[in-house]
Amino acid sequence: MKDSKIRMLTLLAVVAAVASITLAAATGTQAIKERQEAMEGIGTAMKTLGAIAKQQTPFDADVVKASAETIANHLNTAADLFPEGSDAGDVETWAKAEIWSDHGNFRKDFETAEAAAVAMQSVTEEAAFGPALGALGNACKTCHDTYRRPKQ
């Protein structure tokens, strides 16, 4: 009787441990997937803006505004998708440990990028487009340079 009770408790403990590890991994994996989707959304919108900068497509204030809104929204969501423990999961991530050891500065970089995306929403003239895209691009680069491992 006593023996089986111990066995039962051990089993429960093991199940609980496995479940919590699985849950943590799942939470990490979920966050990684969601933030990568958000970043991909930003990438697609950036390509639209990049095509205008390269003069492959004509400048269109409505397209610029819509793309900038998409980027700002994705940035706003993505900033919260780096919870503790999401440094690894079932999908590959390029997130560096500095995201969590230096989280205040990491959040600030996100705010800078979001502010640049918001500023771009009110660009109506082609002359202001280049500098606005430059500011947004530099915000992306600064954060990626510090907090993202090379994808190689």
Partner 1 sequence: MKRRSRTRRIAAAAALGAVLVAAVFFVLTAARPSDRVLPTDTRDLANGEVMFHVGGCMACHNPPAGTETPGLPAGAAAFSTPFGTLYPGNLTPDPDTGLGRWTAEEFVDAMTEGVSPDRRHYFPAFPYTSYRNMRVEDLLDLRAYLMSLPPVRSSPRDADVPMIGLSRRAMGLWNRFAFRGRTYEPDPDRDAAWNRGAYLVKGPGHCGECHTPRNAFMIPDDSRPLEGGPHPRGEGHVPSLRDLVGRGRYADVADLTLALQFGETLGYDQLSSGGMAKVQMNLAQLPEDDLRAISEYLLSLR
What does the binding site for partner 1 look like in residue numbers (CB under 8 A)? 43, 46-47, 50, 53-54, 105, 133-134, 136-138, 140-142, 144-145, 148-152
In whole angstroms, give the CA distance from residue 144 to residue 96. 10
Q: Which of residues 31 and 113 has its CB atom nearest to partner 1 in the complex?
A: 113
Kindly list the distances between the CA atom of residue 127 and the CA atoms of 2, 35, 47, 61, 71, in Å, as whole numbers in the listed order: 81, 33, 19, 12, 21
First to last CA, the chain: 57
CB of 117 to partner 1, least distance (A): 13
CB 27 within 8 A of CB 83: yes
CB of 55 to partner 1, least distance (A): 12
Q: Which of residues 5 and 54 has its CB atom nearest to partner 1 in the complex?
A: 54
CB of 60 to partner 1, least distance (A): 18
